[in-house]
Amino acid sequence: MGIGRQLVGFMPRRNIFLPTICIVLLIAAWTFRAPSSSVDRWLDTSAIRGTTSATPPLTPPFPHGPPSQSSQSSQSSHDNDVDLSAPDAPFVGWPLRRVCDEASWVHGLVYICDNNSGGIGNIRNYIQTCIRYGIEAGATGLVLPRIRERNETDLSDLFADYLPFNYMFDEKHFRNAFAANCPQITLYDDIKDIPGVGGDPYIEYVTPKKLGDRDGCDWKDQNRHTDRFNDQFHKWLNDPKRGRPSPSANHPRLIRFEWGVLWDWLIYRDGPEFANTFGGILKFNDQLLRLGKTALKNMHAYALANGVENGKFLGVHLRTESDALGFWPTYNTQTEAYLKQATKRGFEVAYIATGDPLEAQNFAGAAIEMARMRVVTKTDLLKGKDLEELESLSWDQQGLVDFIVLLGSDFFVGAMPSSFSVYMAMKRHLKTGGLYTRPYKVGTEGDGLSYLVGNYKKYWEGWLFMWDGMWP
């Protein structure tokens, strides 16, 4: 039975005529009233995806989004076929500019986002979450983020030393992104460079969630009150009990988060355009990009040399290193799931990323035996000077070379709740729909690009909330 007939069935027959006429009139009025240009804008999928040169590149169908004079790329015509899943995609700046234009800026308020630790997925989110809150608070100063070094003998010790931003990221790119789209913020190299701080800077610690009026909710729940953060934060900042003057050029107030503020900001609050571009402020540095691209090129060559059509390969993230937590999928669970995908999708070669060479060997053995699939790692693919350079890098930096190769794979398999794997699947998903893409369907093979094995039953215990708080 059709839906129409079901609905009709609920109505006394003589009453059908009037409601029908009303609906028809409403639809007609709405259609003719809407300016056709804006309707076209919404319906023109090529404009949305930015794949035609007839429309300005990546022009948002929103009044507040000025067309992208794409901060970094003067080659705006190239933006037409921008692929945001590429590791070196140009930064699309207008969504950031829109957020900055809407902020209420405060002289003398400076955010320090420098206790960023763990692997790439966590480090990015620490930095981005802190900056996003900083913009909302109207911080006109930001100290260039730094990265906490991981102890290479004890991988779970994440606080060995402070390393500069360019340990992983492209500093010039970051500065340009802010200069072009958020000029209200001044970037300081160091705390001592902030005007008026004096010799012994007083830094105030805050946990944004605590300002979130979170009565009755789970402590793990994100901060659902970010729209009110500005109000709440300034109430806290200017509370007479704190005994500090309001921030001003002469009396700066320095803010640092208590450690552990991540996956806290629901990315969809700022719209899909911002959600899918903000992460672009953190681009890998040139050395990592070069090594990663070389390894990717060599991977395709390896696949072709093995008779694989188009050089297709499976990307595997085996997350079983010593710092993996007890409740994560085991080696066997991961291997079984990955080889099942390999067989189902007919892959003959694979690239594996793992910080544990012994496990890589084990996996390669199982792959040949069970899926007739050859497996290589970055050290198999890089030669001579490139290999020397790779080996001079830290464990986490080498992981970024892996990241670039895996981004370029034809299908990716990883594990929940590794933030490296989650970031990978989200970044790869950006290939599917340009700036207006829908979110990745968590726990499925939905976009045909990635699958993460894991436990998807519990949103909090299973760390599924990461997907809602990570900017790819």
Ligand X SMILES: *[C@@H]1O[C@H](CO)[C@@H](O)[C@H](O)[C@H]1NC(C)=O
Q: Rule CB under 6 A: which residues touch ligand X?
A: 115, 151, 153-154, 157, 159-160, 256, 259
- CB closer to ligand X, 114 vs 273: 114
Q: Which helix (H) or strand (E) holds 432?
A: none
Q: Nearest distance from residue 330's CB to ligand X, in Å?
A: 25
- CB closer to ligand X, 204 vs 213: 204
Tally of CA atoms within 13 A in the half-sphere of 25 that contains its CB: 6
| Residue 169 burial (CB count, 10 A) | 23
Return the CA Rg of the chain. Answer: 25
Q: Which residue is nearest to ligand X (CB)?
A: 259
Q: Nearest distance from residue 116's CB to ligand X, in Å?
A: 9
- CB closer to ligand X, 160 vs 266: 160
Tokens of residue 47, six digits: 């404009």
Q: Nearest distance from residue 394's CB to ligand X, in Å?
A: 12
Q: Nearest distance from residue 203's CB to ligand X, in Å?
A: 8
- What secondary structure letter does DSSP report for 207? -
Q: Nearest distance from residue 201's CB to ligand X, in Å?
A: 12
Cis peptide leading into 417, omega within 30 of 0?
yes
- CB closer to ligand X, 253 vs 374: 253
Cβ atoms of residues 135 and 100 within 8 Å: yes
Beta strands 314-317; 147-148: pairing state: unpaired
The Cα angle at residue 221 between residues 217 and 225, in degrees rounded to 5: 80
Pairwise CA distance, residues 282 & 290, whole Å: 16
The Cα angle at residue 439 between residues 437 and 441, in degrees rounded to 5: 130
- CB closer to ligand X, 164 vs 448: 164
Q: Nearest distance from residue 161's CB to ligand X, in Å?
A: 6
- CB closer to ligand X, 148 vs 374: 148
Pairwise CA distance, residues 197 & 104, whole Å: 22
- CB closer to ligand X, 261 vs 342: 261
- CB closer to ligand X, 115 vs 437: 115
The label of the residue with tokens 């910080």 reads: 355
Q: Nearest distance from residue 242's CB to ligand X, in Å?
A: 18
- CB closer to ligand X, 112 vs 407: 112
The Cα angle at residue 236 between residues 232 and 240, in degrees rounded to 5: 140
Cβ atoms of residues 459 and 252 within 8 Å: no
Nearest Cα to Cα of residue 366 among 350, 382, 381, 378: 350
- CB closer to ligand X, 157 vs 321: 157
Pairwise CA distance, residues 164 & 366, whole Å: 40
| Residue 311 burial (CB count, 10 A) | 17
Tally of CA atoms within 13 A in the half-sphere of 212 that contains its CB: 21
CA-based end-to-end distance of the chain: 44
Q: Nearest distance from residue 258's CB to ligand X, in Å?
A: 7
Instruction: List 205's β-bridge partners, or say none.
Output: 256
Q: Nearest distance from residue 260's CB to ligand X, in Å?
A: 7
Q: Which helix (H) or strand (E) holds 439?
A: none
Q: Nearest distance from residue 254's CB to ligand X, in Å?
A: 12
- CB closer to ligand X, 252 vs 292: 252
Cβ atoms of residues 370 and 335 within 8 Å: no
Q: Nearest distance from residue 117's CB to ligand X, in Å?
A: 7
